[in-house]
Chains A and B, each alone.
Chain A
């Protein structure tokens, strides 16, 4: 080997090294492996993997309406994802996003269905009610940990179920039950956060929108609402609080080393409470925005969890606990969950394949740190070979 080609090879290897050491690379590999495992399983069960994935992508991208619905589906899990990521960064395990989400939805209905103020007052009040509900659940979890040393996982699991049954209690209560249904009464129309509701309900507005078919499809046939925009703002806000504020610095210090933070004079107990309250407020916001933004604008009796919180976990994990990353991970998940419904219709393969796919991705994300190790191994081998040649 000449000196020149050796140099080029080394430069190339260096680039591969750099790429393999990027966290995003491991994530992309995990996503590819998720699709691979799902393809193998589909083929083994006698379904055409190609047609299944085609159906998945068509279910997300083939119509503006589908894209719109994907974004609508993604918004709440982006928010729960940010909540889990925020808690992670402060050393807490927010398995309670599920219950905090329910608390947000319930509180939004409690306020929004009884109060009927002008929109600029009504919407903030209803949303704040939801945020407060979620924050309260988070604060309880944080307080029990700070004051009594009770593990946040156990409190969260218990509060998730408590909130599920309280949700059912509100739905069935005389004041909120909608007769002959399994839902509550809806919130008043003044609380709706649907985008351009006036255009969608007035004839003139509909006529204008019809001029632009894709926009008509995107806006009118779906419940497009502000939740996604809010989620992006919250992601930026969470990033700012965590990495650009004194509070965030202290919260992360507690997460990094509780003892060191305590030794440095930081109020560890109070910070735990604050961190959990913030982490709880975000799913609460998601719950409120789903009630105000999406039909039927009410809550229903729950037989089991709807997995908004648990999906948020997957989102946060794939995003590597980065609030901004949650936006993209949430969109990916929203697409898989929404587009996954088309798979069953198109090729008859069970939709559960989507859960297997998501599970596989998360599993390989867990193994993500292996990728740089493999890269190092390859590099050492290359060096050895280089040494032998020289």
Chain B
């Protein structure tokens, strides 16, 4: 019982962490008024950059930082299109989802001799060090260090958004850019910064898959988690704490699938695999309901146009 409970907590944290980073990225960008459907692509770029740098330098921390930088650099494309040129944000986000995996797989084939899969790479440490508590049920709680970074990041984003002047400006720009503009806030610069930051977080999210969970880059490393993160943003009503909760719920549902899949209940594994998705919808219908986006989310800001 204790073992199962700790296993549940451990897997929940493991599964939710990449989603947390991706969702935080989504929250930052959308609170500033820029829809970010491109999280999936940004995460894939981060997943590759992290794995590649860790592979070539042998240092996973360098890989993690590189993933954030690569995600941010890639997000500049979205920022230029959506903010500078006021393009359709959905279209540019989808372009990033096509470009990200394209570039990542192209690079992977160049790096690792034609295959899209990297060899096993150096990974980030566990919080208590590798092999600590081995053999006891408590070893399940010896989670990857990215779990802690994810929690810290969520608190930091919450603090910045709700307790700092800059965060207030970000929210103002997302709700009513014209009003913010009249007060002398540079709408374009804040939005640009937020989109780039969202790329950085998404990059960390990708790296927390390749550098912690699967310890290599594969074609299916990210496989839709960016979209789940996007769903978590909406589920969490565009707040960092709400999104974090949504990711935890999703991770817990995945953990249940794994634990129940061990033959505890006589349900075909394919039906069990639907559980996280159906559960999310049920929770939405029963407890969450209408989610209202930041008012100016997805609307390019044009000076002088009301």
Which residues 77-92 of B sit at the A interface, judged by CB distance below 8 A? 77, 81, 85-88, 90-92
**Does B227 contact A157, Cβ atoms closer than 8 Å?**
yes
Q: What's the nearest-Cβ distance from chain B to residue A111, in Å? A: 20
Which residue of chain B has its CB nearest to the CB of A150?
B284
Q: Which of A45, A158, A162, A165 contacts B231 (CB 8 A)?
A: A158
Q: Which of B114, B224, B285 contacts A161 (CB 8 A)?
A: B224
Q: What's the nearest-Cβ distance from chain B to residue A349, in Å? A: 9
Report B271-284 CB contacts with A as 1/0, cut-off 8 Å. Answer: 10110111011001
**Does B231 contact A366, Cβ atoms closer than 8 Å?**
no
Residues of A within 8 A of B (CB): 41, 45, 93, 95, 144, 148-151, 153-155, 157-159, 161-162, 165-166, 168-169, 172-173, 303-305, 310, 313-314, 317, 350, 352-360, 362-363, 365-370
Report B141-181 CB contacts with A as 1/0, cut-off 8 Å. Answer: 00000000000000000000000000000000000000000
Given that A154-B231, A355-B102, A362-B91 are known contacts, is A162 also in contact with B274, CB under 8 Å in the complex? yes
Q: Tell me the complex Cα distance, A154–B290, Å.
A: 12
**Does B98 contact A362, Cβ atoms closer than 8 Å?**
yes
Q: What's the nearest-Cβ distance from chain B to residue A341, in Å? A: 15
Report B105-119 CB contacts with A as 1/0, cut-off 8 Å. Answer: 110011000100000
Q: What's the nearest-Cβ distance from chain B to residue A227, in Å? A: 24
Q: Tell me the complex Cα distance, A149–B280, Å.
A: 15
Q: Tell me the complex Cα distance, A350–B107, Å.
A: 9
Question: Among the interface residues B91, B103, B273, which one has the most CB atoms of the partner chain A within 10 A?
Answer: B91
Given that A158-B277, A356-B106 are known contacts, is A149 also in contact with B289, CB under 8 Å in the complex? yes
Q: What's the nearest-Cβ distance from chain B to residue A302, in Å? A: 10
**Does B290 contact A366, Cβ atoms closer than 8 Å?**
no
Q: Tell me the complex Cα distance, A352–B230, Å.
A: 25
List A contacts of B76 (CB < 8 A): none
**Does A172 contact B268, Cβ atoms closer than 8 Å?**
yes
**Does A150 contact B291, Cβ atoms closer than 8 Å?**
yes
In addition to A154-B235, A359-B96, A367-B92, 4 A-B residue pairs with Cβ atoms within 8 Å of each other are A350-B110, A359-B98, A363-B99, A367-B81
Say if the beta carbon of B182 comes within 8 Å of chain A.
no
List B contacts of A360 (CB < 8 A): 95, 99
Q: Tell me the complex Cα distance, A363–B276, Å.
A: 32
**Does B268 contact A356, Cβ atoms closer than 8 Å?**
no
Q: Tell me the complex Cα distance, A305–B220, Å.
A: 10
Report the 4 A-B pairs with minimum CB-CB distance, sorted nearest first.
Answer: A149-B290, A359-B98, A355-B102, A359-B99
**Does A161 contact B277, Cβ atoms closer than 8 Å?**
yes
List A contacts of B92 (CB < 8 A): 363, 366-367
Q: What's the nearest-Cβ distance from chain B to residue A280, in Å? A: 16
Which residue of chain A has its CB nearest to the CB of B280?
A158
8 contacts between A and B (CB under 8 A): A153-B234, A161-B274, A166-B271, A168-B270, A352-B106, A353-B102, A355-B99, A367-B81
Which residue of chain B has its CB nearest to the CB of A301?
B270
Say if the beta carbon of B228 comes within 8 Å of chain A.
yes
Say if the beta carbon of B185 comes within 8 Å of chain A.
no
Given that A149-B291, A154-B231, A355-B101 are known contacts, is A370 also in contact with B87, CB under 8 Å in the complex? yes
Report B187-207 CB contacts with A as 1/0, cut-off 8 Å. Answer: 000000000000000000000
Q: Tell me the complex Cα distance, A165–B276, Å.
A: 11
Given that A151-B234, A369-B87 are known contacts, is A314 also in contact with B290, CB under 8 Å in the complex? no
List A contacts of B285 (CB < 8 A): 144, 148, 150
**Does B274 contact A154, Cβ atoms closer than 8 Å?**
no
**Does A350 contact B281, Cβ atoms closer than 8 Å?**
no
Say if the beta carbon of B132 comes within 8 Å of chain A.
no
Say if the beta carbon of B260 comes within 8 Å of chain A.
no
B contact residues, total (Cβ < 8 Å)? 49
List A contacts of B281 (CB < 8 A): 144, 150, 155, 158-159
List B contacts of A159 (CB < 8 A): 277, 281
Q: Which of B102, B270, B271, B274 contacts A352 (CB 8 A)?
A: B102
Say if the beta carbon of B6 comes within 8 Å of chain A.
no
Q: What's the nearest-Cβ distance from chain B to residue A94, in Å? A: 12
Q: Tell me the complex Cα distance, A313–B86, Å.
A: 20
Given that A148-B290, A155-B281, A363-B92 are known contacts, is A304 also in contact with B224, CB under 8 Å in the complex? yes
**Does B270 contact A166, Cβ atoms closer than 8 Å?**
yes
Say if the beta carbon of B94 comes within 8 Å of chain A.
yes
Q: Which of B95, B106, B284 contacts A353 (CB 8 A)?
A: B106
**Does A359 contact B102, Cβ atoms closer than 8 Å?**
yes
Q: Tell me the complex Cα distance, A308–B143, Å.
A: 37
Q: What's the nearest-Cβ distance from chain B to residue A105, in Å? A: 16
Q: Tell me the complex Cα distance, A222–B91, Å.
A: 34
List B contacts of A368 (CB < 8 A): 87
**Does A169 contact B268, Cβ atoms closer than 8 Å?**
yes
Given that A149-B289, A353-B106 are known contacts, is A367 also in contact with B85, CB under 8 Å in the complex? yes
Which residues 215-258 of B sit at the A interface, judged by CB distance below 8 A? 220, 223-224, 227-228, 230-231, 234-235
List A contacts of B231 (CB < 8 A): 153-154, 157-158
Q: Tell me the complex Cα distance, A317–B230, Å.
A: 20
Q: What's the nearest-Cβ distance from chain B to residue A42, in Å? A: 10
Q: What's the nearest-Cβ distance from chain A to residue B224, in Å? A: 7
Given that A162-B274, A305-B224, A352-B102 are known contacts, is A93 also in contact with B284, CB under 8 Å in the complex? no
Q: Tell me the complex Cα distance, A157–B23, Å.
A: 15
Q: Tell me the complex Cα distance, A150–B286, Å.
A: 11
List A contacts of B109 (CB < 8 A): 350, 352
**Does B110 contact A45, Cβ atoms closer than 8 Å?**
yes
Q: Which of B91, B100, B278 contacts A158 (CB 8 A)?
A: B278
**Does B103 contact A356, Cβ atoms closer than 8 Å?**
yes
List A contacts of B85 (CB < 8 A): 367, 369-370
List B contacts of A157 (CB < 8 A): 224, 227-228, 230-231
Q: What's the nearest-Cβ distance from chain B to residue A176, in Å? A: 12
